[in-house]
Every structure is written in structure tokens, then in C-alpha cells.
Amino acid sequence: MKTDNKQNYKDSKVYLIGSGIAGLASAVYLEKDVGVPGENIHILEKDLIAGGATDGAGDKDKGFVVRGGRMHEMHYECYWELLSHIPSLEDSNISVRDESYEFNQRFVSNAQARLLKEGKKLDVSSYGLSFKQQADFIKLTYVSESSLADKRM
Ligand SMILES: Cc1cc2nc3c(=O)[nH]c(=O)nc-3n(C[C@H](O)[C@H](O)[C@H](O)COP(=O)(O)OP(=O)(O)OC[C@H]3O[C@@H](n4cnc5c(N)ncnc54)[C@H](O)[C@@H]3O)c2cc1C
């Protein structure tokens, strides 16, 4: 909701449930587009760690762990738009978007595996699906949307 009269919302109090990227993005746009002051936006989190599925932890000596690999694809337009409003922690003159672009250029991703168990790569290429089920999925990507309109999955 973008508004021209941000004064209308300067006394609003907002409580967001969950500190995942959905909650954080809501907070950014509530402040930027709607005019709710940051101090009136409260994010309630049930876990001890903030960030939801995007959490990460560690330090440079022991290494960093995130819950999963992150694909920051160029076509994630809303995501990059969001990050263009967030100043970098290291240099507040540049945004996290620009910092990430620059980082991605310097360190090109070379992921060798999606899932590990006891330090070994798991072969999950079949996703537990039979050959027929895999073929059905591939077929699905070629059919028109209208031909699926009255189908249930
Ligand atoms: C391993 C892994 C890899 C992924 N890789 C990618 C990727 O490469 N690219 C991509 O685009 N996406 C990826 N995703 C998906 C993406 O991370 C999630 O879709 C996205 O982070 C979800 O954000 P969210 O804010 O909707 O929910 P969440 O991040 O799940 O946040 C919800 C938050 O709400 C809190 N909460 C829930 N109920 C309550 C309550 N009652 N009270 C208070 N707090 C509550 C939870 O504790 C949590 O912190 C990946 C996800 C995982 C797990």
C-alpha cells in the first residue's frame, strides 16, 4: 500500500509476527511507502534466532553456517528492490544490493552439492520419484495454463 499522505500513519503501531524475510520486508515498506515510523514497528519472533529461514551464524575463524544454499538469481526483482533500500553494514553509502552484486562478481558460486549427510553428498537426483512421475513433471512444464484450469493435483 503506497500512500501520498504518510502523515496519516505516523502514529500507527504495527506488530509483525515472525522475523523472516516476509516480516522484514513488510517493515521496510511500511516505513518507506506508508510512513509508519520504524520505532512503531514491532517484530515478534518465537525463536531465539532472528531471520527465519534466512538465518545464518558463525565467525571468520570457525566458519559460517546458513540453513541452506542461497540462490540470489537476477530475476528476483522484488528481492533486489528490497535490498536496494538497505544500507550495507560495512559501508552505509552503498546498498546491500550493490554490495551483493559486487560480491557475486568476485566470488562466482561453485556449489557441488545440495544435501549432505555425515559429510557425504546425498544423491537425491530422483527426489524419490519414479521414472513415470519424473516424466509427468516434465510434461507438465510444456502444457498450457488454460488446459490445467479445471484439474486438481
Ligand atoms: C534450506 C533452504 C534453502 C533455501 N534456498 C533458497 C534459495 O536459494 N532461494 C530462495 O529464493 N529461497 C530459498 N529458500 C526459501 C526461502 O528461504 C523462504 O521461502 C523464505 O525465507 C521464507 O520467508 P518467510 O519470512 O515467509 O518465512 P520464515 O523465514 O519461515 O519466517 C517465519 C518466522 O516466523 C516465526 N514464527 C512463526 N510462527 C510464529 C509465532 N506464532 N510467533 C512468533 N514468531 C513466529 C518463525 O520462527 C520464523 O522465524 C530456502 C529455504 C531453506 C529452508
pLDDT tens digits, residue range 54-89?
A: 877 888 898 877 776 677 788 999 999 999 999 999
Atom from ligand 1 closest to the CA of residue 25: 25
Cβ of 49 less than 6 Å from ligand 1: no
Are 33 and 81 within 8 A, CB to CB? no
pLDDT digits (tens, 9 = 90+) for 121-151: 988 888 889 999 999 999 999 999 899 888 8
Distances (CA, A) of 91 to 6, 56, 82: 29, 20, 17
- CA nearest to 11, candidates 43, 44, 42, 35: 35
> For a pocket test of ligand 1, which of 15, 17, 109, 124 has the largest count of ligand atoms closer than 8 A to its C-beta?
17
- Ligand 1 centroid–CA 93 distance in Å is 29
| Cβ contacts of 122 within 8 Å, gap of 6 or more | 113, 115, 116
pTM: 0.77
Cβ of 45 less than 6 Å from ligand 1: yes
Cβ of 68 less than 6 Å from ligand 1: yes
